[in-house]
Structure 1
Amino acid sequence: MQRRQFLEVTMGALALGAMPTLASAFAGSSLTSGDAADAAAFLKERRFLRTRFGHIAYVERGKGDAALFLHGFPLNGYQWRGALARLSPYRRCIAPDFLGLGYTEVAPGQSVAPDAQVEMLAELLDALSVDRVDLIANDSGGQAAQLFLAKHPHRVRTLLLTNCDSEIECPPPALAPVIQLAREGQFVAQWLAPWLADKALARSKDGLGGQTFTHASNPSDEAIDVYLGPLVRNPERTHAYAMSLDRNWLEGIGPKLRASKAPTRIVWGTGDTIFTRRGAEHLERSFARSRGIRFVQGARLFFPEEYPDLIAEEARRLWQV
């Protein structure tokens, strides 16, 4: 099985004439450096909160009203380092690592399925004395954000979704080979471990970077270590996370999303080979208080990491600060 299968899904033709080019959309943005000092500093900031789900790893910056940042798969809270740096003057920014990913230590026998993630997030917020949050999410973190909103609508002040699951793409077809390899206990050995060992391979067209990052220089060596190191060291929990995605967790969620009073903004990279424009349009129609879609031409799945200025701009507009 080819690694490329992980990240290929057919997209319909996109009418891009009215969309901003990468140059204009990201004018004034700067890529996060991802160098050794950056990674070391972020890891040093990481805290652990003991819960019934395990020891939840998270980074917190700023004060005041809280914003909760939910990362994608196979990433962790480090994905949001640039956004936290830009938004912490305006919010108490909290970026946890999901159960089964990153540096969170999962309790024995604990489920890492999306419904358990929602319960974990609620307990984390309770422990941090946070009542309501502005949610910002990407990839499978967007699925968790929608589930959290559906179960705890009163706890979500605003919602900013980037490329992620929707009710009509959950899970996306491209995830099928990952789930199958996880069932066979081979996902880590066949894909993640080789990428961790060979950073050039990880950034190649057949690797994590080439298929999910917009720029060929990403992710950096340090980011690859931060993201994939914990997953390779804990293959069983990594496989459990992947296998837990093998159902449509968003099925039937439409009425609860439409009932939400939280202003919602969609920011969508059109170069994504995992989630389609159709999914973005479905999400935009799902929220009664939608603030529309911003399409970013050519940007791939994990573009929020690469262009934190864009995320900060959209978040501040949504928050009206």
Structure 2
Amino acid sequence: MNRRTFIHLGLGAVGASLLGGCAVGLTGASAGGGGAAGAGAKGAWDAAAFHAARRFVPTSFGEIAYVERGSGPVALLLHGFPLNGFQWRGVMAELAPHRRCIAPDWLGLGYTRVAEGQSVAPDAQVGMLIAFLDKLGIDQVDVIANDSGGQAAQLLVAAHPERVRSLLLTNCDTEIDSPPPAVLPVIEAARRGRFALDTFPPQLADHEFARSDKGIGVLCFTYPQHPSDEAIETYFRPLVESPQRVRLTDAYAIGLDPNPLAGVAATLKQRDLPVRILWGTGDTIFTPAAPEYLDKLFPNSRGVRKIEGAKLFFPEEFPQEIAAEALKLWSGA
């Protein structure tokens, strides 16, 4: 499979010939309606409202940044790498009438303040989630996850099945593809202490560059206006705001290898929670075999739906599709 090399974000070494053109055959949002302002969902927060809504929960892992919206049973929204909870602003707007939507930031990403000496590896992320939910007095959640958030979601279900009512997975790691080959150069650069510094400052300095075939845009987003200016600032600025944050960003990448999901399949095959897979076929990071693998892995899978041409971070661009699938899953349909 022809894979992209994520480390070249910010370095300008990946040309259009490697990254290809924009996806076609999409349903849902249009190229003009994908929603740079609010991720295409009516009433979605802009960056100012998102920052104003942020709260922190003190735990032994650090002060966990999160936003929440809505009321009712809790939906826990787990973002990808190198994003933060802002990825879910459109989904939160769609689901707020039905769920208390909570979007935390991972250790090492976003606005979470990591405790001194704290690991940011995947097992620590799962421990953080449990501590975070305990502090908020939340017993069970419906999980919606993307990218490395899907990896953590699987680890959460394996270790703490009593805490998860249902699971909606979008493009993410699987045991057979973690870390995917495209991410290996990221990990190697992080081990040299160069991933964060070589990747994010150039994109913060030039937003059009970030949206180009040499930045995160063409690689991970479906539509050419994404990520928006405010998304670039909200996602990338905290990752390089201090030497400590640079180290944590690199540490997050380093923690993705060796495979955090190694050996988890036997346990997940015993988990009978309802699971739905929603997969963008334009993604070139994760193997196209992954959705069928997940469908067979979970004994109570409700099947796979594919969005033709949608790329890795499509939950930001297709919030209505995420919400529709979540509501079907929660209703038992």
TM over 0.5: yes
**Correspondent of 1:189 among 194, 197, 204:** 197
Whether 2:76 is the aligned partner of 1:68: answer yes
Whether 2:266 is the aligned partner of 1:258: answer no
Q: Is the CA contact (8 Å cut-off) linking 1:7 and 1:174 kept in structure 2?
A: no
Q: Which residue does the alignment assign to 2:298? A: 287
Task: Note the alpha carbon deviations across 1:162-198, whole angstroms, 9 max, x for none.
Answer: 0000000000100011111111111122111111111
For 1:303 and 1:276, locate their aligned partners in 2 and report how far apart those are by CA, in whole Å.
Answer: 16
For 2:73 and 2:214, locate their aligned partners in 1 and report how far apart those are by CA, in whole Å.
Answer: 41
User: What secondary structure is seen at the aligned counterpart in 2 of 1:188?
Assistant: helix
| Matched residues, number | 311
RMSD: 2.4
User: What secondary structure is seen at the aligned counterpart in 2 of 1:159?
Assistant: strand
User: What secondary structure is seen at the aligned counterpart in 1 of 2:175?
Assistant: coil
Q: After alignment, is 236-245 or 250-259 more displaced?
A: 250-259
**Correspondent of 1:152 among 160, 165, 173:** 160
**Correspondent of 1:21 among 16, 25, 28:** 25
**Correspondent of 1:178 among 170, 174, 186:** 186
For 1:319 and 1:74, locate their aligned partners in 2 and report how far apart those are by CA, in whole Å.
Answer: 28
Q: Is the CA contact (8 Å cut-off) linking 2:190 and 2:250 kept in structure 1?
A: yes
Task: Note the alpha carbon deviations across 1:114-168, whole angstroms, 9 max, x for none.
Answer: 0000000001111111111100000000000000000011111010000000000
**Correspondent of 1:217 among 195, 201, 225:** 225
Task: Note the alpha carbon deviations across 1:231-268, whole angstroms, 9 max, x for none.
Answer: 01120110111111111111111122111121000000
For 2:182 and 2:117, locate their aligned partners in 1 and report how far apart those are by CA, in whole Å.
Answer: 28
Q: Which residue does the alignment assign to 1:199? A: 207
For 1:193 and 1:97, locate their aligned partners in 2 and report how far apart those are by CA, in whole Å.
Answer: 21
User: Measured at CA, do residues 71 and 40 of structure 1 come closer, stay the same or move farther in structure 2, by a change above 3 Å?
Assistant: same
TM superposition shift of 1:21: 3.4
Q: Is the CA contact (8 Å cut-off) linking 1:100 and 1:238 kept in structure 2?
A: yes
Q: Is the CA contact (8 Å cut-off) linking 2:166 and 2:274 kept in structure 1?
A: yes
Q: Which residue does the alignment assign to 2:287? A: 276
Q: Which residue does the alignment assign to 1:86? A: 94
User: Measured at CA, do residues 310 and 53 of structure 1 come closer, stay the same or move farther in structure 2, by a change above 3 Å?
Assistant: same
For 1:285 and 1:5, locate their aligned partners in 2 and report how far apart those are by CA, in whole Å.
Answer: 38
Q: Which residue does the alignment assign to 2:278? A: 267
User: Measured at CA, do residues 30 and 117 of structure 1 come closer, stay the same or move farther in structure 2, by a change above 3 Å?
Assistant: same
Q: Which residue does the alignment assign to 2:331? A: 320
For 1:56 and 1:286, locate their aligned partners in 2 and report how far apart those are by CA, in whole Å.
Answer: 31
Q: Which residue does the alignment assign to 2:132? A: 124
Q: Which residue does the alignment assign to 2:247? A: 236
Q: Which residue does the alignment assign to 1:16? A: none
Q: Is the CA contact (8 Å cut-off) linking 1:26 and 1:310 kept in structure 2?
A: no
For 1:93 and 1:80, locate their aligned partners in 2 and report how far apart those are by CA, in whole Å.
Answer: 9
Whether 2:316 is the aligned partner of 1:305: answer yes
Whether 2:256 is the aligned partner of 1:245: answer yes
| TM-score (normalizing by structure 2) | 0.89
